[in-house]
Amino acid sequence: MTIVPQPCARCGELIPAERIEAVPETMVCVQCSQEIGGEFKVFVTPERTSKDGSLKKNYGGYSTRKVRKPLKPKGQA
């Protein structure tokens, strides 16, 4: 599979193929990701595997949900 560098959604610089390979869903370059404090907000939700009201403790896993932060062009606060 060939990875084609894509332009950053924020500053327009090309995102290196290595970054796209590491984070396929990325839309911004490393620098912009750092400047906006991370591209995604990650929500971690414990998975309930027992019925409500049950006293039985369960140790279900956690599901994570990534939400992409709104991207603004560089220079616009």
State yes or no: residue 10 binds Zn ion (CB under 5 A). yes
Q: Which is nearer to Zn ion, 61 or 75 (CB)?
A: 75
33-52 residues in contact with Zn ion (CB under 5 A) are none
In whole angstroms, give the CA distance from residue 37 to residue 52. 37
**Shortest reach from residue 70's CB to Zn ion, in Å:** 15
Measure CA of the first residue to CA of the last residue in the chain; give whole Å. Answer: 37
Please choose, out of 21-29, 37-45, 52-60, 61-69, the segment that lies near Zn ion by the rule CB under 5 A. 21-29
Asked if residue 27 lies in contact with residue 12, where contact means CB atoms within 8 angstroms, the answer is no
Taking the CB of residue 3, how many other CB atoms lie within 10 A of it?
A: 13
How many residues bind Zn ion, per CB under 5 A? 6
In whole angstroms, give the CA distance from residue 60 to residue 1. 36
Applying CB under 5 A, the residues found at the interface with Zn ion are 8, 10-11, 28-29, 32
